[in-house]
């Protein structure tokens, strides 16, 4: 995705023009006169900005791993974890919206739904989730193709095991040449390699733990999201006809990096 860089002379640049505040602050457009709709819009637009940053940092970390700049990759992965903490904290703000306050403008959302967040679907794809049906939920064909393309490309986990192999770890060759568009469920032979890395300690073990931090952070955000939705609309269908809480709760059982969890009871 584009970095949206603005060329030109910095002469006369101000805080407002650098941040494009006129455009930014004009993007909150409530469809009702309800006081609380502005909060709903602001929170979700803020999420999309953080999603953009996560995509930027994860891709940057993958590039750093490919260049064997592990310190740079580690720094960027750490930043992702901190962003996820902010994403969880934002749920606290959204939960100040009571069920009756949300119901007052919910009908104005029509068929729109958080399920249609192309950036979040792309984040899931970068984290290794391979489910074409998720891309099909997006109403825009260009967005669908972006997510599908990301699902066909190596994930963060693929980048990690290639980095481990380049450092001399005995990563099974079949994993290095596997079809990256296929779902990955874990590999027992790789888990033995990972156990050896953890027991040796050092840089590689530390980076793997950062992936666990990110996995846990995503799960924490999913859990808070589930409870927030349940608190706000109960077990009713979500906007856009989604199954709401039921679908979100099912996503809690999905680990991003299954090998790193499978070895926990063997350490």
Quick one: pLDDT at residue 239? 47
Quick one: pLDDT at residue 240? 46
Residues 10 and 61: beta-carbon distance below 8 Å: no
Looking up residue 179, the CATH number of its domain turns out to be: 1.20.58.480
Q: Where does the chain have alpha helices with state H?
A: 15-18, 21-24, 37-66, 70-94, 99-106, 118-126, 132-136, 141-152, 156-166, 173-176, 188-200, 203-233, 245-251, 258-262
- In whole angstroms, what is the distance from residue 248 CA to residue 222 CA? 7
- In whole angstroms, what is the distance from residue 118 CA to residue 77 CA? 21
Quick one: pLDDT at residue 109? 84
Among 208, 225, 207, CA closest to 261: 208
Residue showing tokens 């890395």: 197
Is 215 inside a domain boundary? Answer: yes
* CA distances, 68 to each of 59, 165, 168, 180, 210 (Å): 14, 11, 12, 21, 17
Is 128 inside a domain boundary? Answer: yes
Q: Which range marks the domain in which residue 246 is found? A: 34-266
Is 76 inside a domain boundary? Answer: yes
Quick one: pLDDT at residue 7? 56
Number of domains in the chain: 1
Among 54, 262, 267, CA closest to 156: 54
Quick one: pLDDT at residue 231? 82
- In whole angstroms, what is the distance from residue 76 CA to residue 213 CA? 13
Quick one: pLDDT at residue 112? 65
Per-residue pLDDT for the chain (267 aa), expressed as one digit of tens each? 455 666 556 678 999 999 999 999 999 999 999 999 999 999 999 999 999 999 999 999 999 999 999 999 999 999 999 999 999 999 999 999 998 998 898 888 866 667 788 999 999 999 999 988 888 889 899 999 999 999 999 999 999 999 999 999 999 999 999 999 999 999 999 999 999 999 999 999 999 999 999 999 999 998 888 888 888 876 655 444 444 556 556 666 678 999 999 999 988
Is 185 inside a domain boundary? Answer: yes
Residues 51 and 184: beta-carbon distance below 8 Å: no
* CA distances, 87 to each of 56, 121, 204, 206 (Å): 16, 16, 27, 24
Is 126 inside a domain boundary? Answer: yes
Is 245 inside a domain boundary? Answer: yes
Quick one: pLDDT at residue 247? 57
Q: What is the reported pTM? A: 0.89
Is 211 inside a domain boundary? Answer: yes
Quick one: pLDDT at residue 74? 98
Quick one: pLDDT at residue 226? 83
Is 228 inside a domain boundary? Answer: yes
Quick one: pLDDT at residue 254? 79
Quick one: pLDDT at residue 252? 67
């Amino acid at each position: 995705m584009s970095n949206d860089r603005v060329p030109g002379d910095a002469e006369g640049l101000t805080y407002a023009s650098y941040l494009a505040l006129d455009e930014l602050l004009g993007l909150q457009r409530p469809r009702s006169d309800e006081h609380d709709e502005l909060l709903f819009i602001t929170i979700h637009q803020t999420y999309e900005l953080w999603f953009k940053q996560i995509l930027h940092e994860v891709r940057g970390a993958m590039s750093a791993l490919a260049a064997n700049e592990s310190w740079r990759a580690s720094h960027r992965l750490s930043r992702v974890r901190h962003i996820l903490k902010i994403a969880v904290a934002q749920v606290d703000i959204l939960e100040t919206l009571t069920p009756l306050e949300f119901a007052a403008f919910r009908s104005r959302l029509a068929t729109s739904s958080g399920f249609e967040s192309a950036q979040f679907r792309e984040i899931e794809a970068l984290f290794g989730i391979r489910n074409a049906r998720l891309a099909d939920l997006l109403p825009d064909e260009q967005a669908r193709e972006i997510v599908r393309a990301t699902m066909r490309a190596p994930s963060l986990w693929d980048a990690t095991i290639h980095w481990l192999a380049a450092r001399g770890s005995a990563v099974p060759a079949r994993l290095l040449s596997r079809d990256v568009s296929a779902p990955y469920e874990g590999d027992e032979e790789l888990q033995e390699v990972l156990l050896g890395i953890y027991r040796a300690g050092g840089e590689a073990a530390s980076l793997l733990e950062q992936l666990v931090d990110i996995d846990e952070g995503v799960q924490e955000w999913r859990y808070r999201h589930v409870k927030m939705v349940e608190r706000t609309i109960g077990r009713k269908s979500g906007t856009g006809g989604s199954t709401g809480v039921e679908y979100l709760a099912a996503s809690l059982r999905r680990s991003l990096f299954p090998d790193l969890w499978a070895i926990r009871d063997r350490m």
